[in-house]
Each structure stands twice: as structure tokens, then as C-alpha cells.
Amino acid sequence: MEFIDTHSHLYDEAFASEEDAAIERAVQAGVTRLILPDIDSQTRDAMFALADRHEGVAFPCLGLHPTSIGEGWEKEMEALEGYLSRKIWAIGEIGMDCYWSKDFIKEQQDALKLQLEMADRLDLPVIIHSRESTELIIKVLKECRHLSLRGVFHAYSGSIETYREIRKLGDWYIGIGGVLTYRKASIAETVKEIPLDRILLETDSPYLTPVPFRGKRNESSYVPYIAEKLSELTGKGIDEIASQTTENAVKLFRL
């Protein structure tokens, strides 16, 4: 079986000096390709360096994370332009986050629009971060109907009704990670109603570690545990889960 981790921050300082070993463990676990979402200028070079060392396994993206948008965010946006000569596979991680702070909501909206326009211009998918901000993001997507939008709602935790609304606004997939394995997680019920051909597997490592490793650092090698839980909940075989989610990722990111 082959899996793809469609959201991994293996370049994070939590993996300092262990990044290469973590990638080796992932490959040994059948997680043969990893999408590396960007955060901001503080970690971008580390992300590209890791991708360069593991070409064909690690695939870098480019974007400004909503929690990195504050005073001087325009300079962070300008910095993205300096990396457009690099091969990138998506614009992300972008979106909105009203959990940590609501001080720069308008700026987050503006940055999201600019990056959706960038993705359309470059014919790339987007990776959407949405935390306590789904309705605001949907509003932005409606304002950007003229763009050819496709991508994934990372760490999806919304309802089936919200999923159906999102699907009307572009070619969207749903990212499912370790939260699926948590007791009483609402996504465990919602995911039963989402077509398998719309689901991507992800870890968000080093965060959101699945059971039985919850409380420890997450890593890409744990994707099979998420797949097993998805298999249990949907009644579909693990082989089908692996095959279809891998096909979905290959299609979306053009791997």
C-alpha cells in the first residue's frame, strides 16, 4: 500500500536534526510522498532545503499562513514573489484563523484573496487553513467565483452541510488527519457521508497526533493509523482507502 501525507511540517524546529530520519520512517511505513505547506519567511528556506534533499518524496508549497499576518504583512507577501522561480506544488498554507487572534481579520481576508489570485494565475491548487473562520472563508470564496479554484480544506472539522456548500464553490477536497482517531470527534460522523474520492489523508505533523500516539510529536509515518480509522468508520477496506486517497492527492497536486 502507498500513502501520501498531504500536509506535513517536517521542517519544523520540533524535528531539528531529525528531519531526514523522520522522512525515512515515513517511506518505510508506505508514506512515499509528502506535501510540505509553507508558513512564512522564518521557516521557508528550511522547508525548501528539506525538499531539495528529498526530491521526489517531499514537495514544497508557497504561501503565508494566516497566523503570520500582522503588522508588516505586506512585506511577507512581497517575499513570496522571490520564490516563484522554484518548483512549487500548491499555494498554501493560506486561509483565516479567528482562534488565536481577531486583530487582523481584514488583513487575513486581503491576503487570502491575493493568494487565491496567485494560485489561479499559476494554475496551482491551494491548501486552506480554517479555524473558527469557515463562514468568512466561504464569503471570500464567493467573492472569488471568477477564479478557477481547487484545493483542500486542511484539518476539516465542519459539518456535512458545510462540506456541500464548499463543494459548490470550486473543486475542493477535505483533509482528514489525526483528529479522526480522537474519542467523540465530530468529524468521525461527518466523514461517513463524504465521498472517498474527495478525501485526502494528512498528519499536520508535528501537531494533531493520532491515537495511539496522542500527546507525542506527530510525524508522517503515522498516516496509516489515520487510514485504518477511516477504514473502520466507512467500512471500506484499507487497500481501497490507500489507493483512492493516493489517487486523489496525485490528481489534485499533479504529482
Is 60 in a helix, a strand, or coil? strand
pLDDT tens sequence across 62-117: 999 999 999 989 999 999 999 999 999 999 999 999 987 888 999 999 999 999 99
DSSP 161-216: HHHHHHHTTSEEEEEE-GGGGSTT-THHHHGGGS-GGGEEE---BTSSPPTTSTTS
Q: Which of 124, 159, 129, 167 is nearest to 253 (CA)?
A: 124
pLDDT digits (tens, 9 = 90+) for 2-48: 999 999 999 999 999 999 999 999 999 999 999 999 999 999 999 99
Nearest to 118 by CA among 152, 158, 78, 156: 78
Cα 195 from Cα 230, distance rounded (Å): 12
Q: What pLDDT, on the 0 to 100 scale, is given for residue 178?
A: 98
Q: What is the pTM of this model?
A: 0.97
pLDDT in tens, 114-148: 999 999 999 999 999 999 999 999 999 999 999 99
Is beta strand 150-153 parallel, antiparallel or unpaired with respect to 31-36?
Answer: unpaired
Contacts of 189 (CB under 8 A, 6+ apart): none
- Report CA torsion sign: 222, 225, 231, 233: negative
With cell 531529525, the residue in question is 18
Sequence-distant (≥ 6) Cβ neighbours of residue 147 within 8 angstroms? 116, 117, 119, 120
- Phi and psi at 175, nearest 5°, equal -90, 125
Q: Looking at residue 99, what is its pLDDT?
A: 87
Decide if 16 contacts 234 (C-beta within 8 A).
no
Q: What's the average model confidence in pLDDT over 172-195?
A: 97
Taking alpha carbons only, the member of 75, 13, 81, 68 closest to residue 39 is: 68
Give the pLDDT score at 87: 97
154 touches 208 (CB < 8 A): no
- Which class does domain 3-253 fall in? alpha beta
Find all residues with CB under 8 Å of 232, minimum gap 6, and list them: none
- Which residues are registered as beta bridge partners of 91? 62, 126
Instruction: Tell whether the model's pLDDT for residue 249 goes beyond 90.
Output: yes
The domain ranges of the chain are: 3-253
Provide the grid cell at 168: 459548490
